[in-house]
Structure 1
Amino acid sequence: MELNRAGAATIKRVYNNNVLLAGLGDGSEMILVGKGIGFSHKPGEPVDVEAADQRFVPDGSYAASHVAGVLGDAPLEQIEVVQEIMALARTELKLEPRQSLLVPILDHLGFAVQRARESMKVDFPLRWEVAQLYPAEGQLGRRVVELVRQRLGVTLQEEEWVAFALHFVNQQWSKADFSKTVSMTETIARTFTLLSVRWGKNIDENGLSAARFVTHLRYLFARSIEGAPADVIQMDVLTAIRRSYPEAADAALETAKLIGGALRRDLGEQEISYLALHTARLYAEMHTIEDKK
Structure 2
Amino acid sequence: MEQECFHVKKVLNNNVIFSKNQEGQDIILTGLGLGFQKRKGDPVEAEKIERIFILKEEATGNRLSELLKQIPIDYFYLADQIKQHAEQKLSKELNQNIYVTLCDHMYYAVERFKQGLLFQNQLMWEIKRFYPKEYQIALEAIKLMNSTLNVKLPEDEASFVALHIINAELNGHEIQSVIDMTRLIKGICSIVQYEFKIDFDENSLNYTRFILHLKFFSQRLMMNEPPAEEASFLYPQVQENMPEAFQCSRKIALYIQKSYNYTITKSEQVYLTIHIERLLSESRKL
TM over 0.5, yes or no? Answer: yes
- Which shifted more, 7-16 or 280-289? 7-16
What residue number does 1:233 align with? 231
Structure 1: distance between partners of 2:67 and 2:248 = 46
Pair 1:164-2:155 in alignment: no
Q: 1:61 to 1:248 in 2, by over 3 A?
A: farther
Percent of residue pairs bearing the same amino acid type: 26
Supply the distance in 1 between the matched residues of 2:24 and 2:241 (Cα, whole angstroms).
Answer: 64
Determine if the alignment matches structure 1 residue 254 to structure 2 residue 246: no
1:57 CA displacement = 2.5
- Counterpart of 1:18 in structure 2 is 15
Shift in Å at residue 249 of structure 1? 0.4
- Deviation, 1:270, is 0.8
Matched, 1:100 2:97: yes
Cα pair distance change 1:261/1:206, threshold 3 Å: farther
SS at match of 1:125: coil
Greater Cα offset, 88-97 or 73-82: 73-82
Cα separation, 2, equivalents of 1:67 and 1:53: 19
Contact 1:256 1:267 in 2 (8 A): yes
Aligned residues: 284
Cα 1:72/1:242, change in 2 over 3 Å:
same
> Which letter does structure 2 place at the counterpart of 1:242?
Q
Please name the residue that 1:149 is paired with. Answer: 146
Tell me if the contact between 1:192 and 1:203 (Cα under 8 Å) persists in the aligned partners: no
Distance in 1 (CA, whole Å) between partners of 2:15 and 2:85 is 24
Aligned to 2:219: 222
Q: Confirm whether residue 60 of structure 1 aligns to residue 57 of structure 2.
A: yes
Q: Secondary structure at the match of 2:8?
A: strand
Is 1:213 the counterpart of 2:210? The answer is: yes
State TM-score, norm by structure 2.
0.89
Moved more, 278-287 or 20-29: 20-29
Per-residue deviation at 1:275?
A: 0.9
| CA–CA separation in structure 2 for the residues paired with 1:11 and 1:41 | 7
Q: Verify the 8 A CA contact 2:232 2:267 in the aligned structure 1.
A: no
- Note the residue ranges of structure 1 that are not aligned, 5 or more in a row: none
Query: What is the rounded CA distance, in whole Å, between the counterparts of 1:26 and 1:194 in structure 2?
Result: 52
Per the TM alignment, residue 43 of structure 1 is displaced from its structure 2 partner at its CA by 1.8
Q: Partner residue of 1:37? A: 34
Structure 2 Cα separation of the partners of residues 134 and 89 of structure 1: 13
One-letter identity of the residue aligned with 1:115: R
TM score, norm. by length of structure 1: 0.87
Q: CA RMSD in A?
A: 2.3
Q: Find the residue that maps to 2:160 and give its secondary structure.
A: helix
1:288 paired with 2:282, answer: no
